[in-house]
Amino acid sequence: MSPTPLIIIVLSSILTCSLLGATALHDHGDASTDFQALRCLKIHLSTSAGFLPSWKIDGSLQKFCTWSGVTCSKRQTSRVVALDLESLYLDGQMPPCIANLTLLTRIHLPNNQLRGPIPTELGQLNMLRYLNLSSNNLSGMIPSTLSSCSQFRVIDLGSNSFSGEIPPNLSQCSNMQQLKLDHNRLIGGIPEGLGILRNLSVLHLAGNTLTEYGYGSKISTEGDVYSYGVIILEMLTGKRPTDELFKDGLSLYKFVEDSFPEKIGEILDPRMIIPYYGNRDEEEAGSSSDQENHQIAAGIMGCITALAKLGLLCAAETPKDRPAMQDVYADAITIKEEFSALQG
Ligand SMILES: *[C@@H]1O[C@H](CO)[C@@H](O)[C@H](O)[C@H]1NC(C)=O
Ligand SMILES: *[C@@H]1O[C@H](CO)[C@@H](O)[C@H](O)[C@H]1NC(C)=O
Ligand SMILES: *[C@@H]1O[C@H](CO)[C@@H](O)[C@H](O)[C@H]1NC(C)=O
Ligand SMILES: *[C@@H]1O[C@H](CO)[C@@H](O)[C@H](O)[C@H]1NC(C)=O
Ligand SMILES: *[C@@H]1O[C@H](CO)[C@@H](O)[C@H](O)[C@H]1NC(C)=O
């Protein structure tokens, strides 16, 4: 694999944003619509082990708050606020009726065998803060309607079979903290706006086929460069701030800082293969093509070092130590041009 895609992705996530105002909250539901919606879910999701025996539909109405995996509101009687159904061999498609649980704040269904698309109706759940459907076999496009869930903090759709592009208007979820779309079949680019989501600390996109994006981007002068810095550090190292490694005071930032600049080559994502330096044992050593390779490799390391420096500057702990967005943009363009020149 060549180093090109990763580097271009890093250089290309430059940045515009339009924040969406808060969406008005509509709640057309009551305990009986919640009951009907759970009943509908039970019918559509099955499991080889017999789906959720505790979900007794024949029982008296509104006992559903005691069903396993169902959490009800403390303030509003018999209203469902969370579904936690991890690793239950659930299979089938998520039915649109899930969107009738209008007070849902949390959907946690990872590690099941759900397939088919996410219903676009999910976007109607405007209290939803957490959606975790990782490790299923969901497919189709990621619905752009998800962006209407303005409360989102966490979306984890990792390890599924989603295809198409990342919906650009996900960057309207201004409260987003963790967005994981890794290990799917996504194509296209990284939406520019994601780079300045102020609270985004985890953006995990590995294991897709994302390519260059963002020609003609507008620059946001007010945008926070912090997330952009973190994205650069993540992509260079292939590590996430939440990785096991980063405990006991070691952070992704410190990890990169400690190796900068001499040992930067040692902490790069192993998938970034720096071209061959030439083999001294071979007779052709010192030939012109060998020297050329050496120059290209040195040039690429130069670009990577410059990029790591930019990442560290942007992700500096105190906001006042971070450069202005125009300067970040200018630096990134310069690195990108140098890198393109090396490609000949
Ligand atoms: C949601 O609830 C309404 C009112 O009870 C019902 O008419 C509608 O069919 C439900 N929608 C879905 C997708 O089940
Ligand atoms: C989603 O659920 C899985 C399984 O419990 C967990 O490992 C993962 O960390 C969750 N994702 C997020 C973003 O919390
Ligand atoms: C996942 O779904 C795809 C079609 O969407 C299918 O080809 C594949 O076999 C499924 N994988 C598993 C493990 O069920
Ligand atoms: C997101 O974009 C899609 C089209 O790309 C549009 O249909 C949808 O309404 C947008 N959603 C929001 C909340 O703006
Ligand atoms: C981000 O997090 C801070 C602190 O938790 C919070 O005050 C703020 O409202 C959040 N959202 C945005 C868009 O900054």
For the domain that residue 334 is a member of, what is the CATH number? 1.10.510.10
Tell me if the pTM is above 0.85: no
In a domain, 101, yes or no: yes
Q: Closest ligand 1 atom to the C-alpha of 33?
A: 5
pLDDT in tens, 81-103: 999 999 988 989 999 999 999 99
Q: What percentage of the chain carries pLDDT values higher than 90?
A: 34
Q: What is the pLDDT of residues 31-74, one digit of tens each?
A: 889 999 998 998 888 765 565 667 877 666 668 898 889 999 98
Q: Is the CB–ligand 3 distance for residue 42 below 6 Å?
A: no
Domain count, the chain: 2
Q: What is the pLDDT of residue 51?
A: 59
Same-domain pairing of 257 and 302: yes
pLDDT bucket at 22, cuts 50 / 70 / 90: very low
Write the pLDDT tens digit of every residue in 226-282. 778 888 888 888 888 778 888 777 888 889 999 999 898 888 888 776 665 444 445
Q: Which ligand is nearest the CA of 152, by number?
A: 5
Q: Is residue 5 assigned to a domain?
A: no
pLDDT surpasses 60 at 175: yes
User: What are the tokens at 11?
Assistant: 């250089």
Q: Residue 160's domain spans which residues?
A: 31-204
Residue 36 sits in the same domain as residue 162: yes
Domain contains 7: no
Pairing of strands 106-108, 70-72: unpaired
Q: What CATH number corresponds to the domain at position 87?
A: 3.80.10.10
- pLDDT for 242: 75
Of residues 187, 175, 178, the one with CA closest to residue 234: 178
Name the residue of 88, 111, 134 whose CB sits within 8 Å of the most ligand 2 atoms, as the mutation to test its pocket.
134
Q: Is the minimum distance from the CB of 126 to ligand 4 under 6 angstroms? A: no
Q: Does 134 contact ligand 2 (Cβ within 6 A)?
A: yes
* Ligand in nearest proximity to the CA of 166: 4
pLDDT at 18: 21
Higher pLDDT, 194 or 117: 117
Question: Is the shortest distance between the CB of 169 and ligand 4 below 6 Å?
Answer: yes
Q: Whose CA is nearest to atom 14 of ligand 3?
A: 137
User: Per the domain annotation, does 9 fall within a domain?
Assistant: no
- CA distances 106 to 109, 184, 243, Å, are 10, 22, 23
Instruction: Tell me whether residue 312 is in a domain.
Output: yes
Ligand nearest the Cα of residue 135 is: 2
